[in-house]
Amino acid sequence: MPSTPRERARVDTMRRILESGNRQLAEQGAAALSLRAVARDLGMVSSAVYRYVPSRDDLLTALITEGYRDVAQVAESAAAGRAAPGRRFVALCEAIYGWAREHPHRYALIFGSPVPGYRAPQDTITDAARTPAAAIQLIETAWAAGELDDPESPPASAGLRRQAKELRTALGTQLPEAVLLRFAAAWTQVFGVISFDLFGQFVGSFEPGDAVCAFTFRTAARTIGFRD
């Protein structure tokens, strides 16, 4: 469909802009991402880039979306296989962790402090939901097979139970609300420990952080109710 050579040149330039942006991101971080640098990198004038990307924030959005898709793909392929769901959950966590260590700036862009004045558009949410969805599917597998324990949980407030119920219908899952709550607590644990490691909060205590991450991933799995 991209018949005309002009159009082909356009999509190619667009792809090169995204590539260069990702390079900038990986090398110097989000704050150093500048359209001028992208233009320099590509050997074109800065104003020309604005024909492809409306603004710097839009370039950031494009890179964020790409990052969400990337990490989701990594997580999904790690969750595949025939191993026990609990082991696959830990593998999923380790896959996210590996991706994060490989692309710390992209991880920070997605799961770190939001860039001020930037509001993630709605369509990023669907991509963002893919990763937790992969984890939830593992939980469902274990639950359907009756392999999910039911560890004692703290009491949930009425408001929280309502939120969980709404989420249950929104996800279209059969899982009990209590499991969803435990998943939420465990999920924040997974990203909490990854962020602690990547953002330097373990400096002076658990360094390097891969061991404490692995331990925490297993702790999170137990929190959910996975065996083994």
Chain residues binding DNA by CB under 7 A are 3-6, 9-10, 13, 33-37, 44-48, 50-52, 54-57
CB atoms within 10 A of CB 52: 19
Report in angstroms the alpha-carbon separations of 124 from 9, 165, 169.
27, 24, 21
Does position 169 interact with its own copies (CB under 8 A)? The reply is: no
Give least dist CB 56 to DNA, A.
3
Query: Does residue 120 bind its own copies (CB under 8 A)?
Result: yes
Applying CB under 8 A, which part among 3-11, 13-21, 22-30, 142-150 lies near its own copies? 22-30
Residue with the two structure tokens 């560890």? 151
- DSSP secondary-structure letter at 103? S
Alpha carbons 58 and 118: distance in angstroms, whole number: 9
Residue 2: CB minimum distance to DNA, A: 11
CA dist., res. 145 & res. 105, Å (int):
39
> DSSP alpha helices (H): ranges in the chain?
5-28, 35-42, 46-49, 56-79, 85-102, 104-111, 122-144, 158-171, 177-198, 210-224
Q: Any contact of residue 211 with its own copies (CB under 8 A)?
A: yes
Partner from DNA, its own copies, none contacting 165, C-beta within 5 to 8 A by type: none
Residue 216 lies near its own copies (rule: CB under 8 A):
yes
Residue 196 interacting entry, from its own copies, DNA, none, C-beta within 5 to 8 Å by type = its own copies
Residues near 120 by Cβ (< 8 Å), separated by ≥ 6? 61, 64, 114
200 is an interface residue for its own copies by CB under 8 A: yes
**Using rule CB under 8 A, residue 34 touches its own copies:** no
State how far the Cα of 176 lies from the Cα of 165, in Å rounded to an integer.
9
Binding flag, residue 141, its own copies (CB under 8 A): no
Contact set with its own copies (CB under 8 A): 28-32, 105, 108-109, 111-117, 120, 125, 128-129, 152-157, 159-160, 163, 167, 170, 181-182, 184-185, 188-193, 195-196, 199-201, 203-207, 211-212, 214-216, 218-223
